[in-house]
Amino acid sequence: MIKIDASHLTRLIATILIGIVGGVGAEQLGVPLPWLLGPLATTALASVSGVKTASSKHVLSPARTFLGVAIGASFTPALLGRIDEMMLSLAFLPVYVAVIALVGYPFFHRVCGFDKPTAYYATMPGGLPDMIAFGAAAGADVRILSIVQATRAFAVVVILPLFLSMALGIEFSRGQPIGSHWNEIPWNEEILILTCAMGGWFAAAKLRIKGATIIGPMLTAAGMSMTGLISHRPPIEIMMIAQLVVGVSIGCRYAGIDRRTITIAAGSAIGFCVLIFAVAAGFAGFISVIGNIDFLDTILAYAPGGQAEMTLLAIIAGADAAFVSLHHVCRVFVVVLGAPIAQRYL
């Protein structure tokens, strides 16, 4: 049974309202990805300014399930014809992670002056909770590590749409269609979408699958999509709410940390993002050429952002969301499995 903390609930509602203000404002200003970047920016600003913001897994987890369904719905019979090119691209992921480590560790340790455990886990492009847990066990500075990892997610979400807009001419400002409105989807399919979201999450959690909120719904929706039971992503209205919740959750990570620490760690993280974005673009361009794969798909697949954020970008940009998501799942798997092992030898 969920215990309700009135104080936390009040902060959570206030935080969501701050996010909504950011979303509306960003939409009016024509900002790329307004319902992701707007809430992210206003919540981060409020957190740094001392406003008591709050997020909750009870809100984030259901939102992530619909992202999982959106990814799964991208798995179609036609996707099977792309297995060969996916294997080629996936094979380069361990090399990509190793290059990031070789670039990032000296940058954080020698240039930024971080201690070795902090520099090492600040470099790793894995899931934020996992990297913080591993870093804490290794004696890293958890405050700095948290800011670096959160800022990496923030910076990639901001930089990548700008790059795609300028380099590829992709227009984000007015929001690309990311599905159908709820009243355009057959009611029986809406029930199946909800079943994929909640049922897939429940089943994956029972099986103790890592990332159950996305992986379970994704696999369930993929099965239904491949068999023709569903042919739509979750409604646009749901996807907007999901973007809002993901943006707010990133912004809240800046809460309770003094501005000096944020300035040092965030500045270092932004410098690191420039370096690894160049690495990602290099790998994406190389794989795009040798594998004859759309560069938009490869750059989104190799961008060092979070799976949820990159999948949203893929859906909105009209890229292959299944291709992109699979790469991010594999990247996190490689980092989570390999980082602690490599650390023992370093």
The string of pLDDT tens digits covering residues 180-218 is 788 888 888 999 999 999 999 999 889 887 678 878 898
Winning range, highest mean pLDDT, from 19-33, 89-103, 208-222, 253-267: 89-103
Q: Which residues contact 239 (CB under 8 A, 6 or more apart)?
A: 66, 70, 178, 179, 233, 312, 315
Q: What is the pLDDT of residue 193?
A: 93
pTM of the predicted structure, to 2 decimals:
0.68
> From CA 292, how far away is CA 191, in angstroms rounded?
38
Q: What percent of the chain has pLDDT over 90?
A: 22
Which architecture does CATH list for 12-345? Up-down Bundle (1.20)
Residue 225 gets the label, from left (phi > 0), alpha (psi -120 to 50) or beta, of alpha
DSSP 196-259: HHHHHHHHHHHTT-TTHHHHHHHHHHHHHHHTTS---PSPHHHHHHHHHHHHHHHHGGGTT--H
What's the sign of the alpha-carbon dihedral 236, 242, 245, 246?
negative
